[in-house]
Amino acid sequence: MKKVTYFPGCSAHGTSEEFDLTVKMVMKTLDVEMEEIPDWNCCGATSAHTMNESLAYALPLRNLVLAEKLSNDTMTIPCASCYQRLKVTKVHMDENPELAKKINTTIVEEGNYKGRVAVKSMLQYCYEDIGLDAIKAKVISPISGMKLACYYGCLLTRPKSITQFDSPEYPMSMDNIVEALGAKAMLFDFKTECCGASFSISDTDIVLQLSGKILEMAKESGAQAIVVACPLCQSNLDMRQGDIEKKYKVKYNLPVFYLTQLMAMAFGFPKEKMMFSKHIVPVDGALAHIGEVIEEPKKPAKAKKAVKAESEVE
């Protein structure tokens, strides 16, 4: 059994309870024991680094120091924004010990930062540490028939120098996981476009435009639903979808799932345990496609021959 430190983040107790719940279900199935950081605090999110540089480092640093008190050498975080703040802090502290010393003066009682614990997003942990084969092995009721657009948002894979994970332009890790669950991942160009994040409250029009474009592209890809691994992406695409439809006079009806909700379903947990009742856009329409056979477009036979001919020449 693997052990990993868990940082749930504020939204796990708020808007994204269902994410937290299904992460726990999925990890248990995959034989991973999660140990929550005792008395963790908010990472500061966008607000801290917008307004106050020292605070933007100090808030995540306290969590990193608390995590070092547990024996595990990796920490996993479901929220993309928390992940980004903790990882940025870790990378900058490791690169610049002098800065680490300075910021450490804000949390003297908690102890000194050593840089021992690796920070990974939940997606990265599933993909790198658990692996596709182990995930596949646990699938007992595949979600085949579903056509999904995997939306990563900006913070899971960018900036590359910080995340060191997957592609910043066209990542495939989540696509590969949903395919392992039996679903079809659609070609989707807006995988890493920004949803507008915290402007949801402070300048809603920006979110309506940005998230609107993402919904538009997801619909165009032929997907029946969107999959995310970030609470803010979920609430912007789900809770604001009605406003977007009204503003641009369109109809999307695209439910927005957390990756772990779909994983838990494929692992055989009953639908009732996923807290789908919290979703604003109803999920039943998309789930009804489970079990359908997706017809693959036939590849043109001529093109194949041409490729063969070329290789023969070599």
Partner 1 sequence: MITLSYKGKNTFLEAVNKKSGSDVLECYQCGKCVSTCPVSNFMDFPPREIMQMIKLELKEETQMANSTWFCLTCSACSGRCPREINIPAVMEAVRHLAIEENFHPDSKQVKNIRKFHEIFLDMIKRYGRNYELRMMAEFNIRTRNLFKDMHLAPKALLKGKIPLGVKSVKSAKAIKKMYEMAEKLEQQNK
Q: Can you give the binding site for partner 1, defined by CB under 8 A?
A: 10-11, 13-15, 17, 39-42, 44-55, 58-59, 62, 102-103, 105-107, 109-110, 154-155, 158-160, 168-169, 192-194, 196-199, 201-204, 206, 210, 235, 239, 277-280
What does the DSSP 8-state code read for residue 13? G
Q: Distance between CA 293 and CA 16 in Å, rounded?
A: 32
Q: C-beta of 76: minimal distance to partner 1 in Å?
A: 19
- Name which of 44 and 182 has its Cβ closer to partner 1: 44
Q: C-beta of 105: minimal distance to partner 1 in Å?
A: 6
- Name which of 52 and 164 has its Cβ closer to partner 1: 52
- Name which of 95 and 296 has its Cβ closer to partner 1: 95
What letters, b where the CB count within 10 A reaches 16 and e where it falls short, cover 89-103? bbbbbeeeeeebeeb
Q: C-beta of 195: minimal distance to partner 1 in Å?
A: 9
Q: C-beta of 72: minimal distance to partner 1 in Å?
A: 21
Angle at the Cα of 10 from the Cα atoms of 7 and 15, rounded to 5 degrees: 120
- Name which of 42 and 172 has its Cβ closer to partner 1: 42
Place of tokens 């009804």: 288
| Widest pairwise Cα distance in the chain | 71
- Closest by Cα among 81, 90, 67 to 10: 81
Beta strands in the chain (DSSP E): 2-6, 32-36, 74-77, 118-121, 147-150, 184-185, 225-228, 256-258
Q: C-beta of 270: minimal distance to partner 1 in Å?
A: 19
- Name which of 10 and 132 has its Cβ closer to partner 1: 10
Cis? peptide before 300, omega within 30° of 0? no
Q: C-beta of 288: minimal distance to partner 1 in Å?
A: 21
Q: C-beta of 272: minimal distance to partner 1 in Å?
A: 15
Q: Which residues pair with 253 in a beta bridge?
A: none
CB atoms inside a 10 Å sphere around CB 152: 30
The alpha-helical segments, DSSP class H, found in 113-203 are 122-124, 132-138, 160-163, 173-180, 199-202
- Name which of 181 and 244 has its Cβ closer to partner 1: 244
Q: C-beta of 135: minimal distance to partner 1 in Å?
A: 28
- Name which of 109 and 314 has its Cβ closer to partner 1: 109
User: C-alpha distances in angstroms, 223 versus 42, 141, 147, 311?
Assistant: 34, 20, 5, 36
Helix (H) or strand (E) holding 92: helix 80-95
Task: Say how many Å lie between the first and final Cα of the chain, rounded.
Answer: 50
Q: C-beta of 230: minimal distance to partner 1 in Å?
A: 12
